Amino acid sequence: MTDTLAAPPTVQRPPRRARRRHRVLIPLGLALLLIVATVVAHAVDQPDPADHGFLSPVATGDDGGSRLAEALRGQGVTVRRETDTLRALLAARPGPATLFVPAPELVHADTVAALDDLPAGSRLVLVDPSRRVLEGLGLPMTPGDRRWATRATPPDADGHPCALPEVTRAGTAAADRQRYTTPASWSATRCYGGGLVWVPWRTEVVVIGASDPFRNDRIDEYGNLALATGLLGGPRPLVWLDLDGPAPAPTVGDGTDGEPAWSPSPGGAAGPKGDGQPGSGGRPGRDPDQQDGSPPDDDRADGGQQRENPLWSAFPVWFWALLVQLALAGLLVVLWRARRLGPPVPEPLPVTVRSAETVLGRARLYRRAGARGPAAETLRAAARDRLLPRLNLPPDTPAAEVAARVAAHTGLDPDRAAELLHGDEPATDRELAELARALDRLTRTVAPRPDHPTEGDPR
């Protein structure tokens, strides 16, 4: 009897099927595609100052400024369009004027410092200037937080009233995207939570961190029209600097060959190399002994050299941190859903299936899920259901008594019988297969009742 229940020789474990990687790759690919599509759509929707026609007084596209120019002319403002930086500066020289620079990043580094060297009573309006431009002008101002998209806010969004009359008359406007900060010691006026800053510098300077109030497609929203006309209008003539691309290095001429002779102060000299004083055409603090061919100390010598990647500066730091956290959370969700973390749940079959196919299909599900514990418990429960009637034991018989009765009928050691019927979870598939064979031999060894045939018994 004991020899009959001896363990069979070990068998080779069948090769396990490779996990289907698409359960992880497809959700990750869809999430990555959604993120990339969102970023690309946002980048395409945002205007680029280097695009042709950006805030141009003659451009009628969505990013143009023809509607603003028409509104200013309707208020009696003289609008003069200039496509050269030096000519625009010369046009503003006769008297107080408003110099509007919608794309300060396109101005050459050697002429940035001369932008605010205008006659007394003039105003310089800059749209979304970078740190390079602010440092070139020597303004006590630095770029702060930058939003994903422009937000319409009231002038006193940060709780401090705005002292500019043209801003208070405009009210809520879309000016809060790039914010600027100034030292507490400077008498600067902040509006729209720092999206618009007025500084009484050598020339009255107005910095606004969004182009929306000046664009054709956004000028009619909120108080954008009133804000744009208030900043650029008034009794002063308007000089509109319309650059089609990065401005070239300035040249020196006498005015007779068609090139403007730029001399910001009487008797002054102009050139690409300045002495760092206002109006010299050079940047403050630039070495006067520096040769023309040597690279300047700026991060961009001209428009054709390296430029800062706008994608990184388009979003604040917290956005990138949030994006990383969402990606990690999505990865955890994908890994969690790709692996079943619980036992299989029995479900009723919609059609009649052969018992052999049912057993084989359930076994494959157990194997794919690696559920050796539930599979072993299913085999042991089935064995106990067959043994209890044959031993004339009720279903609630204690496990120790069942093991003792089985050991008495088969000649097995009681501990071995208890291990087979109520043992631990198999650690490998090989142990699970050996347990199934041992339970099958055990149920066949116990003599069946004559009136209760079971599977494998002669009928």
Segment 86-107, tens digit of pLDDT: 999 999 888 899 999 999 999 9
**Would you say residue 377 lies in a domain?**
yes
Closest by CA to 137, choosing from 119, 169, 161, 115, is 115
Domain presence at residue 97? yes
Are 236 and 363 part of one and the same domain? Answer: no
Return the structure tokens found at 413.
Answer: 């050691």
pLDDT at residue number 223: 92
pTM for the full model? 0.53
- Tell me the C-alpha distance between 202 and 141, whole Å: 14
Tell me the residue range of the domain where 396 lies.
Answer: 353-445
Do 187 and 96 fall into the same domain? yes
Closest CA to 198 of 168, 224, 219: 168
Q: Of 288, 307, 332, which closes a domain?
A: 288
Q: What pLDDT shows up at residue 420?
A: 86
- Going 190 to 192 to 193 to 196, the CA torsion angle's sign is negative
The answer to whether residues 359 and 272 belong to one domain is no
Q: Tell me: the pLDDT tens digits for 286-326?
A: 343 333 333 334 333 343 344 555 666 667 777 778 888 89
Question: Is 296 a domain residue?
Answer: no
- Domain boundary (253, 272, 288) is at 288
DSSP, res 458: -
Residue 313 backbone dihedrals phi, psi, to 5 degrees: -85, -5
Query: What local confidence, expressed as pLDDT, does residue 279 receive?
Result: 36
pLDDT of 123: 92
Same domain, 281 and 377: no
Residue 309 lies inside a defined structural domain of this protein: no
| CA nearest to 275, candidates 113, 132, 130 | 113
Q: What is the pLDDT of residues 405-442, one digit of tens each?
A: 888 888 888 888 888 888 888 888 888 889 889 888 88
The residue whose two tokens read 């961190």 is 209
**280 and 395 belong to one structural domain:** no
Whether residues 259 and 116 share a domain: the answer is yes
- At 80, the amino acid letter reads R
Last residue of a domain, one of 288, 317, 335: 288
State the amino acid at position 1 in one-letter form: M
Bridge partners (DSSP) listed for residue 173: 153
Residues 368 and 263 in one domain: no
The one-letter amino acid code at 65 reads G
What is the spatial distance between Cα 440 and Cα 459, in angstroms, rounded to a whole number?
19
**Number of domains observed in the structure of the chain:** 2
126 and 219 together in one domain? yes
Whether 334 is covered by a domain: the verdict is: no
Q: Tell me, what's the pLDDT at 454?
A: 52
Check whether residue 138 and residue 272 sit in a common domain: yes
Same domain, 284 and 362: no
Q: What is the mean pLDDT of the chain?
A: 77
Clarify whether residues 283 and 428 are in a common domain. no
Look at residue 170 and tell me if it is in a domain: yes
Say which residue, 257 or 375, is predicted with more confidence.
375
Length of the chain: 459
Name which residue leads in pLDDT, 218 or 33.
Answer: 218
Q: Which is it for strands 196-200 and 189-191: parallel, antiparallel or unpaired?
A: antiparallel
382-400 per-position pLDDT tens digit: 888 888 888 888 888 888 8
Q: Distance between CA 86 and CA 99 in Å, rounded?
A: 12
Assess if residue 331 is contained within a domain.
Answer: no
Contact between residue 124 and residue 204 where contact means Cβ atoms under 8 Å apart: yes
On whether the CB atoms of residues 279 and 114 are closer than 8 A, the answer is: yes
Least Cα distance to 444 among 406, 418, 398, 400 occurs for 406
Per-residue pLDDT, 349? 66
Residues 365 and 277 in one domain: no
Rounded to whole angstroms, how far apart are CA atoms 36 and 323?
A: 12
Note whether residue 53 is domain-resident.
no
Please tell me the distance from the alpha carbon of residue 77 to that of residue 60, in angstroms, as a whole number. 19
